[in-house]
Amino acid sequence: MLVRANTSAPEKHYIALTNHNSKAMKKRAILVLLLLVFTIPCVVFAQIAGGSKAVSPRMRVIIDNDFSGDPDGLFALAHLLLSPSVDVRGIIGSHLKVGDGFDHSQTQADNAAKKATELLTLLKMNGQIPVVAGSNTGMLNDSTAVKSAGVDMIIKEALRADVKTPLYILCGAGLTEIASAALTEPKIAGKLTLVWIGGAEYTDLALPPPNYSNPEYNLNIDIAAARAVFNHSQLKLWQVPRNAYRQALLPYSQLQTRVKPYGEIGKYLNTVLENLMTRLQQYHLNIGETYILGDSPLVLLTALQSSFEADPSSSEYVLKNCPRINAQGAYEYNADGRNIRVYQRLDINLMFNDFFAKLELNAK
């Protein structure tokens, strides 16, 4: 019997067996075909769930965040660590504003590093990625760098000559470490992209929310560091200001159905956020049934870039002259400022659906 050159393996098996006249052999051939057809997809899916070779790292990232503060940083870190297209080169625990309600201590950066290590342990990644503490205090002024292991980590990775993959520094809180790194070694400015969650709305683009804080929360953590980055550095900057990061709303219903059921990491993330929501009620703060996971766009803008002509193509930004930031933390127009990206509309569906799917796959 003639077999077509493009005949699949299951079809060939079926044809060979049905050359026999026996009805029993034909029945057996049909059973074999059915087993092959239904088994092959299961094997492929199992490979995907266990880590497919179809996706490999195409960028390096260092994430710098206040993990002992708002739990949104822990959600972003978990999402990033489950993303196979990024090579996480290091994790920096950063400080908050002195006396911040999330962490009153004087060891905020150390506590943040401990929280990051705790999450790595839950993901069975402990020891695989360097975790260091940044400075426990902000910069004294916009021209004096602080010294910390976090600053050293950024400089060392940025100056590597043995790799060509792009480097992103992902900051979900203050800018102490990256500002100090740029002051210490200005050459790094052309070797990385800074993605920062922070800063107030630009008045020509958006209005602030009701009862807004001024300065904006993340900028206010270290105004001197923000001034160093905006006013004095040449760092390539993608900014996600308050009007954009406030779009990252996670409903409590999805926390319960799409996060909590999926493994130890799902339970952990649910617990830290649910505990916070409960604690806020004790202070008569009713935040309703959503929570802003404002640091998660750090993952959206890096791990989830488009396949060809790589870029965060499903989110929208404008190019602006980098403003100056004054001593009070407000923007001042700077006609000579370098171009920076200011993100205005984020693809929240892509971001959260990917996060939910990765939690589910990790739990298998």
| Residue 150 is assigned to a structural domain of this protein | yes
How far is the C-alpha of 255 from the C-alpha of 267, rounded, in Å?
10
Residues 270, 256: contact at Cβ < 8 Å? yes
| Residue 131 is assigned to a structural domain of this protein | yes
* DSSP type of residue 173: S
> Is the same domain home to 117 and 151?
yes
Q: What is the pLDDT of residue 53?
A: 84
How far is the C-alpha of 274 from the C-alpha of 268, rounded, in Å?
10
How far is the C-alpha of 9 from the C-alpha of 6, rounded, in Å?
9
pLDDT exceeds cutoff 60 at 348: yes
Confidence of residue 51 (pLDDT cuts 50, 70, 90): low
pLDDT exceeds cutoff 50 at 142: yes
> Is the same domain home to 246 and 344?
yes
| Mean pLDDT, the chain, whole residue set | 89
Q: What is the pLDDT of residue 45?
A: 33
> Is the same domain home to 69 and 35?
no
* DSSP type of residue 35: H
For residue 153, the Cα-to-chain-centroid distance in whole angstroms is 18
> Is the same domain home to 238 and 343?
yes
Q: Is the peptide bond before 312 cis (omega within 30 degrees of 0)?
A: no
> Is the same domain home to 17 and 108?
no
Those residues with Cβ within 8 angstroms of residue 186's Cβ, 6 or more apart along the chain or in another chain: 233, 234
Q: For residues 90-116, b (16+ Cβ closer than 10 Å) or e, as one string?
A: bbbbbbbbeebeebeeeebbbbbbebb
SS3 60: strand
How far is the C-alpha of 11 from the C-alpha of 350, rounded, in Å?
38
Reported as a single tens digit per residue, the pLDDT across 11-37 is 333 333 334 444 444 445 444 334 333
How far is the C-alpha of 31 from the C-alpha of 26, rounded, in Å?
9
Distances in Å between the alpha carbon of 91 and those of 201, 245, 251? 28, 21, 28
Number of domains into which the chain is organized: 2
Range of the domain at 105: 59-362
Rg from Cα positions in the chain: 25
Q: What is the pLDDT of residue 50?
A: 45
| Residue 1 is assigned to a structural domain of this protein | no
> Is the same domain home to 75 and 170?
yes
SS3 12: helix
DSSP letter string, 230-246? III---EEEEE-HHHHT
| Residue 152 is assigned to a structural domain of this protein | yes
> Is the same domain home to 41 and 64?
no
> Is the same domain home to 37 and 156?
no
Reported as a single tens digit per residue, the pLDDT across 116-136 is 999 999 999 999 999 999 999
- Domain of 232, CATH number, reads 3.90.245.10
For 352, other C-beta atoms within 10 Å of its C-beta total 21
* Helix (H) / strand (E) containing 88: strand 86-93
* Strand partners of residue 325: 331
Reported as a single tens digit per residue, the pLDDT across 250-300 is 999 999 999 999 999 999 999 999 999 999 999 899 999 999 999 999 999
How far is the C-alpha of 355 from the C-alpha of 252, rounded, in Å?
15
Mean pLDDT of 202-223: 97
* DSSP type of residue 339: E
Q: Which two tokens stand for residue 155?
A: 């400089």
> Is the same domain home to 22 and 110?
no
Mean pLDDT of 61-90: 98
> Is the same domain home to 90 and 45?
no
What percent of the chain is modeled with pLDDT above 90?
85
DSSP letter string, 180-230? HHHHH-GGGGGG-EEEEE-----TTT-PPPTT--SS-HHHHH-HHHHHIII
Q: What is the pLDDT of residue 48?
A: 35
| Residue 4 is assigned to a structural domain of this protein | no
| Residue 308 is assigned to a structural domain of this protein | yes
| Residue 54 is assigned to a structural domain of this protein | no
Q: What is the pLDDT of residue 136?
A: 98
pLDDT exceeds cutoff 70 at 108: yes
Residues 337, 321: contact at Cβ < 8 Å? yes
How far is the C-alpha of 346 from the C-alpha of 206, rounded, in Å?
14
For residue 159, the Cα-to-chain-centroid distance in whole angstroms is 23
> Is the same domain home to 342 and 236?
yes
| Residue 2 is assigned to a structural domain of this protein | no
Confidence of residue 4 (pLDDT cuts 50, 70, 90): very low
How far is the C-alpha of 64 from the C-alpha of 171, rounded, in Å?
5
Whats the size of the chain, residue-wise? Answer: 364
> Is the same domain home to 127 and 222?
yes
Q: Which two tokens stand for residue 152?
A: 């050293």
pLDDT exceeds cutoff 60 at 211: yes
